[in-house]
Structure 1
Amino acid sequence: MSLLPFTVRFDPTNQELVLSGKMRPESVAEIADALELVRQSLEKYSGIVYLNVKRLTHINMTAFAALCDILAAGCRTRPDRNIKIITSSVMAWSASLFEMLAASLPNLSVEVYDSAFYPGQSFVEDESFIPILRTQTKMTWRHERELLPRHGLRSGLAMADICCGIGDFAALVQREFKPARLVALDHSVRSLDYARRVAADFDMRGIEYTYGDASQMLLRDDQFDFVTCRHSLQIFDRPEMLLRELFRICKPGGRVYITNEKNSHCLGEPHAESIKWTYEEVAKLFSHFDMDVEMGPKSRHLLLNAGFDDIKVDCFMVTNLDGDPQDFADVIEAWENVYAGEMAVRRGDSPDFIRRFRQGFKDHVFAALHPKGYAGWPIWAASGRKPL
């Protein structure tokens, strides 16, 4: 038996298998379930599939040989698939070991990363919000995939994802709900280029990535059964303009689904007071730049004012207990980098203020990673029907 258990999981957002811990079985039978997950994941997904072994601290030859057999079979049976093994220089043995395998398989490669991994990392390092959005979508999807049917999403609909950003949500909807048509629109050329490249890497077809201004879309009236706009109304200085456009492109009887936050209600324990103070200041900071990250509870009246009826509202708390607590910590660290490192500086805040501001984020990370801690981030999901 292995001295300590290891884990294997598949993340469909990144098409990434993650192995972590110590993989030291005495026989292949001991790891049969893990190997089967690897095999099934390789069979199911095309394009690029990532095998992340950055947190795999040990592997013996029994496990390595069995894993190699599955990877080699996956490469040979599907030459159109590329497998990228992601290692870390912290585990010096890892890269050289897997590079021996890669030398004999043209569609298998090894890459070494020492920072948080997501596909196309080198491209998005300039884009301060993209790291936030990727991990946020990964975490909120656990909740939203259960809520979306309640708000009217089902397979076979014509759908538009407005302010789609880097396209993660659209990709997840495409896989899970299989809309008849899916248009993903954003005003950022770089974000759309990124989304198209990830879709191509993952061999994902059928999403129509479209450049456009969400407040003045070049899309016909009454053409979508389901329209989504997530975490975007809150960063528009005139959200009512965007809602009018969402209403216009939605078919009569169709629904518009929005998500927004109330940042001042982010919470954590221990260090609750420090965390509370920082997120109250986040709301003020965004307000300074004409953005409203307190919008979540306002969703119902915003939708009613825009002309929708049959309003449905849900609130869910994303927490450090949703999967890997490090994911939650990564989001908070990204927020700190942007909010304290860029926005507060641009507002002209003093060094003393920024130090205290940063401390609340650090305390939130501490709460997320503490073995007895709890950290939360509340999201409001709401939808309304366009009257017949």
Structure 2
Amino acid sequence: MMSEATAQTFRVSFDENNQEFSIVGSMRPQHERDLAGCVKLFEQSLQSVRGTLYVNVKRLVRLNNIAFRVLANLLLKAGGERDDLKISVITSSVVGWSTRKFNALSDIRPNIVIEEYDNEFYPGQAFLEEGGFIPILRTQTKMTWRHERGILPRHGLKPGVVMADICCGIGDFAVLAFKEFAPARIVALDHSKSSLAYARKVAADFGIQGIEYVYGDASEMLLEENQFDFVTCRHSLQVFDRPELILKELLRICKPGGRVYITNEKNSHCLGEPRGESIQWTYNEVARVWAHFQMDIELGPKSRRYLLDAGFENVMMESFMVTNLDGDPQDFADIIRSWERVYAGEMAVQRGDTPEFIERFRQGFQDHVFAALHPKGYAGWPIWVASGRKPL
């Protein structure tokens, strides 16, 4: 059962099945009496809760002192009167002040705990944003762009559209799309502050002012619904342990009739000759290492099912192979070496693999580099592209 009370700029609701009291929007009342509906719904909600009450404020973007005082009193009173009750306040690092504010309540009542939602949601993120990956991402985009610049128009990217690039990383794809297709506007969002800092520098280096870089959580975006004609999310669903939550948000911000475009990989299909058997063994193991950290580097061919399950229609899908023949073979080799550093040098070590396993694991990457640089060699990295239309 869902109960709901509404105010001008915020919405409160209680989901009895999940015992979750949620506040969304901007809560800035003039007087405490302006929150009477919120207080009433919270008090009613308490009557049916057993065990843990979840108070979800991860999409509460503004909160003035009057509102915080009302909420704090409600939570402290509930925590004091109900010794049997645990109150879990769910915040987001994207709205950084909320964690700091609500943390004060846990110092007063031990049964009030603060949980930063996105710290748990991105289990493998540290490997991919702060480690040895950032320096090579621009090379990856350069090699995939040779293919995608011809693919994107088939999926709906054209001049004048309003575009969003979600999980934009270091921002180079947004810059290329802006230069090539001249969209009216691009909003590029990512959860990594270091990546966004680099992205803003890249845009400045190219003298581009039509890209708005935004810090945000892709599973709970502080973006209005139905505002983008074309939404991209590249090489990202495979990183999250619950990609369906990302797709739900991509659908929400896309205009009816607009399209969402995603790219993902299936690393076990990476190939190379000579030394193909060693290469194949290593990339099968890559999939297992990623799965250990709750990520799915095999997601690519599953993209159509994910889009249809999310509610998209007219789903289009195709694939392409990035190879050592796409420009300078050294670029391909550099990408593989970066994979070896992260997958064998960090992820396998953290998983607790033996030195013998890691040595064999590394050998497959090194053999892939050998295939890429061999004068008669061939090395490939497959990418799946899919897009779906939001129903009218």
Normalising by structure 2, we get a TM-score of: 0.67
Write the mapping of 1:262-273 to structure 2, written as runs, cut at 5 A.
Answer: 262-273=266-277
Write the mapping of 1:227-238 to structure 2, written as runs, cut at 5 A.
Answer: 227-238=231-242
| Cross-structure match for 2:346 | 342
Kept after mapping to 1: 8 A contact 2:129/2:195: no
Write the mapping of 1:205-354 to structure 2, written as runs, cut at 5 A.
Answer: 205-354=209-358
Q: Amino acid of the residue matched to residue 332 of structure 1? A: I
* Distance of 2:202 and 2:391 partners within structure 1: 37
* Distance of 1:282 and 1:321 partners within structure 2: 23
Kept after mapping to 1: 8 A contact 2:271/2:280: yes
Distance 1:125 1:207, change over 3 A: closer
| Cross-structure match for 1:61 | none
| Cross-structure match for 2:62 | none
| Aligned partner (choices 149, 153, 169) of residue 153 of structure 2 | 149
Q: Amino acid of the residue matched to residue 325 of structure 2? A: L
1:27-46 C-alpha deviation (Å, 9 max, x unpaired): xxxxxxxxxxxxxxxxxxxx
- Name the stretch that deviates more: 273-282 or 200-209: 200-209
| Cross-structure match for 1:189 | 193
User: In the alignment, does 2:371 pair up with 1:371?
Assistant: no
Q: CA deviation at 1:125?
A: 11
| Cross-structure match for 2:389 | 385
Corresponding residue SS for 1:184: strand
* Distance of 1:268 and 1:255 partners within structure 2: 34
* Distance of 2:254 and 2:190 partners within structure 1: 17
Kept after mapping to 2: 8 A contact 1:234/1:293: yes
Q: Amino acid of the residue matched to residue 216 of structure 1? A: E
1:149-177 C-alpha deviation (Å, 9 max, x unpaired): 00010010000000000001000001000
* Distance of 1:269 and 1:201 partners within structure 2: 39
Distance 1:247 1:125, change over 3 A: closer
| Cross-structure match for 2:168 | 164
Kept after mapping to 2: 8 A contact 1:163/1:185: yes
| Cross-structure match for 2:83 | none
Q: CA deviation at 1:233?
A: 0.1
Q: Amino acid of the residue matched to residue 287 of structure 2? A: A
Q: Amino acid of the residue matched to residue 372 of structure 2? A: A
- Pairwise CA RMSD: 1.2
Uncovered stretches (5+) of structure 2, i.e. residues with no partner = 1-127
| Cross-structure match for 2:180 | 176
Larger Rg: 2
Uncovered stretches (5+) of structure 1, i.e. residues with no partner = 1-123
* Distance of 2:194 and 2:335 partners within structure 1: 21
Kept after mapping to 1: 8 A contact 2:131/2:342: no
1:75-121 C-alpha deviation (Å, 9 max, x unpaired): xxxxxxxxxxxxxxxxxxxxxxxxxxxxxxxxxxxxxxxxxxxxxxx
Runs of 4+ in 1 over 3 A off after TM superposition: 124-127
Q: Amino acid of the residue matched to residue 338 of structure 1? A: V
Kept after mapping to 1: 8 A contact 2:162/2:229: yes
Q: Amino acid of the residue matched to residue 162 of structure 1? A: I
| Cross-structure match for 2:141 | 137
Write the mapping of 1:1-12 to structure 2, written as runs, cut at 5 A.
Answer: none
Distance 1:125 1:326, change over 3 A: farther
Kept after mapping to 2: 8 A contact 1:132/1:335: no
Corresponding residue SS for 1:378: strand
* Distance of 2:370 and 2:302 partners within structure 1: 30
Percent of paired sites with the same residue: 76
* Distance of 1:291 and 1:170 partners within structure 2: 24
